[in-house]
Structures are given as structure tokens and as C-alpha cells.
Structure 1
Amino acid sequence: MALGRSNWDTILDILAATFPGCIITGSADNVATGTNLAFASRGLAPSAVASYVSTYASLNPILPATALLAANQVFHDNHLLDRAVTAAAPFHRKWVAQLGDFAASSGVVLLRQGTRQLTLEVRYSAQRQAELRPLIAGVLSEAAQHFERAFEIASRTRFSGGRGYLEGVVADLPFSVFFVSEDMRIHYSNVHGEALRRQHGGPFSSADGILRAADERADHQLRTLVERVTTSKRTPTSVQQISLGGMDERYFAIARLALRGNQHYQLHDAVLDPGPLVMLIIHGSLEMSSLPTDLLWRAFSLTESEARLAEALLNGATLADFAKEREVSKQTLRNQLVGVMRKTGTRRQSELVSLLTRLALTCL
């Protein structure tokens, strides 16, 4: 399922075959609003499904109680709420009772993200409780462990670039990368991003998984940048300079919408999908790009002095700056620059820097 080789139809069919005569439901809900986000079942007529989604999901008295459970914790209806109380509720009188004798249920909260959660539940007759409850609890408990791993894989294969895109591409980028939702919740960060946000006295503070700039003004700038990208009708790339009070270094945030891979929508996507995600790249003004001298020598046959000039230009130095640092004349450096551009096949200094920058991104 995590890799797209199975789906919820298969899972529900297996459970229906394992527990004949029972009703199997998978329900994704926003427990804060009582809104049903997605619903699938076995053993329910289409009219019962429609009425549940449109009306009775929000009246389910068990739903608020399940929100207090830990994820992957198996529950039984009468352990959460007295069965006499639930029987008097409109949900049971007007919906459950119309289905037949299905007053008892056992289930498990498989997934939770914020106020959204996914619950798998089996409904059965209270007369069969002693027979079915231990069997259902055993199956759901074991299945929950596998679902947890499946959802972890699914959540990391949702971006364009194919499976393993985050681990195989983004993780290896030599700068800080965050994937954040509009509320600035971090859904992924590479090793450089993790180091940056955990840095004592650094530019960010995010112990609770929310990315915040340490400076209040900078935090507002960052949130505005992400909001601008998520609400745009196009897929723009936006850049914001973030100045932090009391710090010499400035930071540059480059934001673009993170495109999703082509996938078939599944029940758990209603919980996993946080809406638009922004790929946020953070560069510090004092960060230095580097190119190994031996790489420049092998690729372009640059001399040591030409390689040093190329690296200085890559890091924003001017010829005058580098001439002063190296205590050589600017004319000598101009001659070296002509040689570097000839060997690299570039015609302008800006074109040379662009080439060097692309090479530097591959040198971790």
C-alpha cells in the first residue's frame, strides 16, 4: 500500500472476509470540527454511507473519545463511553439502529496529524462480543504496527521526482532545506536544515516542529513568504532576505511550491495531506561555496592560482578584493581570468560564476 501496490479496497475486503457478518469502516475525520474527510466501508449500503458522511459522522459520540487515545491504540466502544449513553444518542438511534444489530464496535486509531485522524473500526452484535472482541483486537493490534511503517513510507514518497526523492536527492543537497505547510509545520528537513534549526543561538527556534525565526520581524517575513507561495495561482519561486536583530549574518530564504508526484488518492491521504507544501531553502550570507582544486584541475586543467581565483569569484569576491588579498596586480588577475574563461568555455564572468555554482552544488 505504501508503495502503491495495494489499496484500501484490498484491505477492507480482507477484513470483511476475516469477520463475516460485521461492518468494516475506515474513516478519516477532523476531530476538532467533527467533519468527515474520507470514508470507506464494507457491509454498508450506499444510502447508509451517504447519510453517515453528510450527517451522522459529526454526531458520532465515540469520535471525541478516540481523539484522546494514543495512535495505534486498540479501543472498544463501551470502554470509551457507557453503551446506554451511546444507545440514546441520535447517532445510534437514527443511524446504527437502522443497520441492524451492530451496537458493539472495536477499532484502532491508525494515523493522526494535528486534528485529523484515521480510524479503522469493526462493528458487530453485542451478543457476539465475547467471541469476536479478542480476535478483532488481535488483528487490529498487529496490523497497526504495519500501517505505521506504511504511512511513514507514504508520507515520504509524495513529492515529484519519484520514490526516494527526499532521501536520494534533497537529503544530499549542501544547504538547508525544509518542507513546510502554510502553518510553518516542518514535514521534512534535510541534515543541514536540522543542524540549522537546532543551532544554539541560531536563526531559528523550532523545538515543537514549527519553524520560527528567532527574530519577531524576521518570523513575520518568513510566514508572509510561505503564505505568498501557497496562495499563488501559479507555481512561483520567491526570495526573501531575512535580517535577524543582533546578528551580523543575513539569511536568504528561497521558497517554491513542492510539487506532488502522480499518485492514486487513498483513504489515508485525507490525513497525511496537509495541503500545499513549500520547499524552503535557507542560505546564510556568510556561507562559503567550495570547489576542490583537484576537481578544477581534472575538469579544466586550471593551474593552482587559476583555481584559487575561480573559487574566490564563486564566493562573491571582486578582482580588486582578490588582488589586494593575494598582493598581486589586477592586470595579473585579468590575465588569469581570461585563461580560466578560455579553459572553461565561458565568455563572461557571470557565465563563469554560474558554471562554478552548478558544480559547487554537486560537491558535498
Structure 2
Amino acid sequence: MGSRVSDSSERAIARLGELIDAAAIAPEHWVEVCRGIQDVLPGGRVLMQGYDSSAPYAMPLAGVGWDDINFDVYFAHYAAINPWIPVWTDLPTLRSALSDEVLPRRILERTEFFNDWIKPMGGAGSASGIKIVQDRSRMATLCVHYDDRRAEKSHEALAPIFQALAPKMRRALDCNRAVLRNNRSLLGDSLMRNLIDPALVLDGDCRVLDLNAAAQELSASGRPLRIAAGDRLVLGDAEAQSRLTLLVAAVCARRPGSIGRHEISLRQGPEKLSFSVLPVTQNLRDYALQGPIGLFTPGTIALVVIRRELTDASAELEALRQRFDLSPQEARIALALRDGGTVAEIAERMGIGYETARVHLKSAFAKTDTHRQRELLALVLDTAGPRG
């Protein structure tokens, strides 16, 4: 923390800062950031990794100096026994660390991961690193591995650079989340494009990872559903929101009984929205060293397909219209009284303006010879019955 920033470090920080700014807009440029760090410590093995609690292993996001490594072997065995994962989880964010100080060598050298994976590489026994970001389920780190014999000098050179650039790297990853969501489809462009019904891809925290044009149009109205801060999906009904949140979390965690088709219904004015939630398993190995796409791609995601059905184009609507000679909108607003609320709340549920709702309600009063909502509601219940 107290390392003096030398002139050479200041130049490296300025140069790397420009590369990180470029990576914020074009995530594939993170490899250039890694090359820039390797320029500071020639021969070092630079690795940016993502960790997700739902995935069975840490995910290499970008790096240089690993050309001689067989990552198929890493994924097949060593990734799952990496002793660094719990260590990184407990370390503070945005603070540089020397490997030997946070995971003592006497402990590391007793692990299969070190003896059969790290040690045979040569020149990678020690490392300097920093945790860039961490939320409830995932984190991202940046490390440089180097020879044990130059650990102290290497860390002295890297620590102030990591410390200075970590906040900028965190902001760049925040930008990457939006860039990647807007420019790719997790399920393939053709599949999402060909889904006629509104469809969204969610992670275990109900964050929107992808959505098709129909879902964008539906969310733009803001009434039945919207995308709130942090890309989280928010429904206009608290009970439906709670059920969807619990179900998506269970599906993404592949909990017993959660796999398969699940239905959630939400009434929105004249419409009923039915949500089907299906698990989709991702092959995260496909994203190895492809930039931060792996950080924002959980092992299991939820495909949510929404079906929209008109509920007021029914026998009860027609019965009201015929009995009192109501217009379609007058009959709909009369039926909406069964769900309670003020005129403003009813207008919002129906997706119409307050003044429009008031005019239709006043006309319904006149045609039914009623003067208050409770009088009109009594006629509705007598004609159409209570909500089923």
C-alpha cells in the first residue's frame, strides 16, 4: 500500500490506463492490457480470471505467457482443486497482494495443484495479484506469476501499478457488462431472433443477460415489467416477482425439483402474462481467454419466455357489453373494478391515461345508471361474477 511510485511506474500506469479505457469499450482488448503488464515484468505470466459460485472452476478471461499450457487438462482436473479460490474470496477488493503472504508457501507446497500443475511450469511459483471486483456470486482477479527468486522485486514493481489501476479496471468491467449484453446473444442470435414471444435470459440474481426485441418492447412500457438498476428484472406484481426470483435462483443453481418447465402468471389489465422458466447449461470452456464474457456468463442460466393472453376478450366481457350496451373499453374498465384500486391505479394497470379511464368510467356509470364504483362493481359481479 505504501510503495513509492517511481517515474517508470507512473509511465506504465499512464500507458496501461489508456489500454484499460480501450478495453472498457472493446472487451477483446483486455489481452493488450495483459501484454502491457508483461512489459513491466518481462517473462511474467499474466492472467485475468473470473470466479462464479455456480461454476465448477475458475475461468481464465485473458492472459499472456501461457502458450505452453494445456487448458483442457486444467479444466478437466486442476481448475476444480485450485486452492486460490477460497483465498481470493476472503481478501479485500482493490488491494494488491503477494502470494506468499496470503497463502503461505508451506501450505501451498502440500497441494496437488502446486506440485502437479504450477511447479512443472517453471517460473510461476510466486505471484502478485489484486481482486478487481466482487459481488454476491462472482469476482474477477488479475495476477502475474513469476520465478520465486525474484518475488520481492517483482511485487515491488507491480504493487503500485495494480493499486493505481484497480479502480479503473473495475469501471471498465462495469462497462463491459453493458457492452457485451447489447452486442451478443447467449443462446445464439438466430434462436433469440426467431422467438416470437418475449424472451429473456437471466442469471441466478434475476439480472438480464440477454433479451429479444419483443421483450425489449414489453419492458419499454414499464408497466408489466422493467429492467431496473443493476440489469435486474422487476415485475409489476410483488407476488409474481417473489415467485420468479425464487424460481430463477433455484433453476440456475440446479436445485432438486427445479429442473423442467415452470409457469408463473401475472395479470396486467386486460392481459395475462405467463412466464415459462427453463434452465440452459452453458459450456464455459468455450469462453476461456476470450475476455470478460466468461465473467458475465454463469454455468447455468434461465431462459424466461413470456406468453401474452387477452383475458377480457371473453364471455364475461361480452355479457357486460350486451346487457348494458357498453363499448369494449367501458366493459374492460368495469371488469377492472374487480381488482380494486383507484381510477389512476386502474388506468395504469390497463395501460391507458388517467383522463381516458375517467371518461370511460363516467360513460359506464351513465349506461348502467350507477353513480359510484361500488354500485358498478355490484352489477359486474352480478353479470360476470368474481375474478376466477
Q: TM-score range by the shorter chain?
A: 0.5 to 0.7
Equivalent residue, structure 1, for 2:296: 272
Q: Once the 2 structures are TM-superposed, how far is the Cα of residue 68 of structure 1 from its aligned partner?
A: 1.2
Distance 1:5 1:67, change over 3 A: closer
In 1: Cα distance, 2:156 partner to 2:145 partner: 14
Q: 2:202 matched to 1:181?
A: yes
Letter paired with 1:138: P
Q: Once the 2 structures are TM-superposed, how far is the Cα of residue 30 of structure 1 from its aligned partner?
A: 3.3
User: Which residues of structure 2 form unaligned runs of 5+?
Assistant: 1-22, 185-199, 210-218, 252-262, 278-286, 307-343, 371-388
Equivalent residue, structure 2, for 1:119: 141
Equivalent residue, structure 1, for 2:242: 219
Q: Once the 2 structures are TM-superposed, how far is the Cα of residue 285 of structure 1 from its aligned partner?
A: 4.3
2:360 aligns to what SS in structure 1?
A: coil
Equivalent residue, structure 1, for 2:174: 152
Distance 1:210 1:100, change over 3 A: same
- Kindly provide the CA deviation profile for residues 20-45 of structure 1, in whole angstroms up to 9, marking residues without a partner as x: 02111122233576513345432223
1:63 aligns to what SS in structure 2?
A: helix
In 1: Cα distance, 2:208 partner to 2:136 partner: 12
Distance 1:104 1:7, change over 3 A: same
In 2: Cα distance, 1:45 partner to 1:51 partner: 14
1:92 aligns to what SS in structure 2?
A: helix
- Kindly provide the CA deviation profile for residues 311-350 of structure 1, in whole angstroms up to 9, marking residues without a partner as x: 24xx7937841646999xxxxxxxxxxxxxxxxxxxxxxx
Equivalent residue, structure 2, for 1:70: 92
Equivalent residue, structure 2, for 1:240: 265
1:92 to 114, 119, 128: 114
In 2: Cα distance, 1:219 partner to 1:58 partner: 33
Q: Is the 1:25–1:122 contact (alpha carbons within 8 Å) kept by the matching residues of 2?
A: yes
1:138 to 148, 153, 160: 160
2:58 to 32, 36, 40: 36
TM, length-normalised to structure 1: 0.55
In 1: Cα distance, 2:144 partner to 2:82 partner: 15
Q: 2:364 matched to 1:321?
A: yes
Distance 1:289 1:93, change over 3 A: closer
In 1: Cα distance, 2:345 partner to 2:201 partner: 19
In 1: Cα distance, 2:92 partner to 2:39 partner: 28
- Kindly provide the CA deviation profile for residues 50-84 of structure 1, in whole angstroms up to 9, marking residues without a partner as x: 43333222222222110112333322212222111
Q: Is the 1:186–1:211 contact (alpha carbons within 8 Å) kept by the matching residues of 2?
A: no
1:318-357, aligned counterparts within 5 Å? 320-321=363-364, 323=366
User: Which residues of structure 1 form unaligned runs of 5+?
Assistant: 163-178, 199-205, 229-237, 244-248, 258-264, 293-307, 328-364
2:97 aligns to what SS in structure 1?
A: strand
1:35 aligns to what SS in structure 2?
A: coil
Q: Once the 2 structures are TM-superposed, how far is the Cα of residue 118 of structure 1 from its aligned partner?
A: 2.2
Q: Is the 2:208–2:233 contact (alpha carbons within 8 Å) kept by the matching residues of 1?
A: no
Distance 1:222 1:123, change over 3 A: closer
Equivalent residue, structure 2, for 1:3: 25
Q: Which has the higher contact order (CA 8 A, sep 6+)?
A: 2
Q: Is the 1:29–1:35 contact (alpha carbons within 8 Å) kept by the matching residues of 2?
A: yes
Equivalent residue, structure 1, for 2:103: 81
- Count of aligned pairs: 261
The alignment's C-alpha RMSD in Å is: 5.0
In 2: Cα distance, 1:25 partner to 1:12 partner: 7
Distance 1:184 1:80, change over 3 A: closer
In 2: Cα distance, 1:20 partner to 1:126 partner: 15
Letter paired with 2:266: Q
TM, length-normalised to structure 2: 0.52
Structure richer in helix, relative to its length: 2
- Kindly provide the CA deviation profile for residues 150-199 of structure 1, in whole angstroms up to 9, marking residues without a partner as x: 1212222344489xxxxxxxxxxxxxxxx882545345999x79xx999x
Letter paired with 1:71: T
Letter paired with 2:202: S
Distance 1:121 1:16, change over 3 A: same
Q: Is the 2:128–2:145 contact (alpha carbons within 8 Å) kept by the matching residues of 1?
A: yes
Equivalent residue, structure 1, for 2:125: 103
- Kindly provide the CA deviation profile for residues 111-149 of structure 1, in whole angstroms up to 9, marking residues without a partner as x: 335433322110112221221112211122222111111
